[in-house]
Copies of this chain bind each other. A is one copy, B any other.
Amino acid sequence: MTVSRVVNNQPNVRKETRERVLQAIQELSYYPNSAARILSGQKTYNIGIIFPREEYIVTRPYFIELSVKLEQKLREHGYHLFLGSIRKDSEETDFYQLIGEKKVDGLIFFAPKIDDKNLSSLSADRVPFVMVHGRSDDSHCCFVDTDNKIGTQQILDYLYSLGHRRIAFVTGNLQELNARERLETYKKYAKEHKSVFIDDFIFYGDWSLESGYKAFNSLYLRKKRPSAIFFSNDQMALGGIKAAHDKNINIPKEISITGYDDINYASFITPSLTTVNQGTNKIAEKTVEILLDNIYNPQKYQQIILTPQLIIRDSTALYSDDPPSVF
């Protein structure tokens, strides 16, 4: 039909005809049938978004904030967003279905596990996808990430500059690269500043409020207490702050706290949180750009590492020699 041409803004339609069609479309409030279009055209204009685990959607607000930005960017390009997730129980996934059934043109993976087999197999199948906060040696993998070394270093340098020498560290889920890199940077820093750290200052968390809470309590029981705690994300830092409040420990007077991500709440809790902003706008923009690029040019793989930024707020202060209150 000529209608198709008009709908798709193609040339070679007389002006009058075009207008006539347009008017008819108006009157009938006609919409082109998506399924037919997809079937015929082989493009769905849908993107699926995959959360590392179901509970993370709630657990990690950072990814929600990112999702919102992604949805906006995608819509600017005429794409819709599908919500997918990896089921909690077992490793069962439903994105194979999404891809297999051709419900989406591509996928976005949040913080996948290191060496996730699903991803390698997707890559082998040449399914377009990009990892956000993940990496791969495979040059046929797209990813967007920020530099964890720089971010972590910024926090540590800042704490150091405040005079802190007993800096504890709370990891995220070490199945994820981000968590691992932050930990490694911390360890390296410790090695380079021998005088300052104590072995027992690492707590293995899982990104959640609860684990942050536990981390604080656990670290605070050490014989020699930390004067600062670096939580690998804001969520855990919030848990830590809660624990401090419960024990009537003043932040930042008695102990400094930092997070990572700069989520919405970071500036709205008390005390407001010193943290690292990863730049969700830029991340979303790049992710969409790279993904669509890969969809249209299947042999084009881009990998980007952006630079995060330290955000100084009120949860950190100069190291003070006052012995922390005993509880």
Q: Which residues of A contact B (CB under 8 A)?
A: 29, 31-39, 44, 46, 54, 57-58, 61, 64-65, 67-68, 71-72, 75, 80-85, 94, 97-98, 100-103, 209, 213, 238-239, 241-242, 245-246, 264-265, 268-271
What residues on B are CB-neighbors of A71 within 8 Å?
83, 85
A82 to B34, CA, bound (A): 14
What residues on B are CB-neighbors of A271 within 8 Å?
245
CB–CB B82/A80 < 8 A: yes
Number of copies: 2
A67 to B35, CA, bound (A): 25
What residues on B are CB-neighbors of A67 within 8 Å?
83
A321 to B288, CA, bound (A): 58
Specify the chain B residue showing the minimal Cβ separation from A101.
B34
A82 to B101, CA, bound (A): 16
Q: A68-B58, A94-B75 are in contact. Are A33 and B39 (CB under 8 A)?
A: yes
Q: A31-B101, A33-B101, A241-B270 are in contact. Are A64 and B58 (CB under 8 A)?
A: yes
Give min CB distance, A222 to chain B, whole Å. Answer: 23
Q: A33-B102, A35-B35, A64-B58 are in contact. Are A81 and B82 (CB under 8 A)?
A: yes
In the complex, the 4 A-B pairs of residues with the closest C-beta atoms, listed nearest first: A31-B100, A245-B270, A35-B38, A34-B101
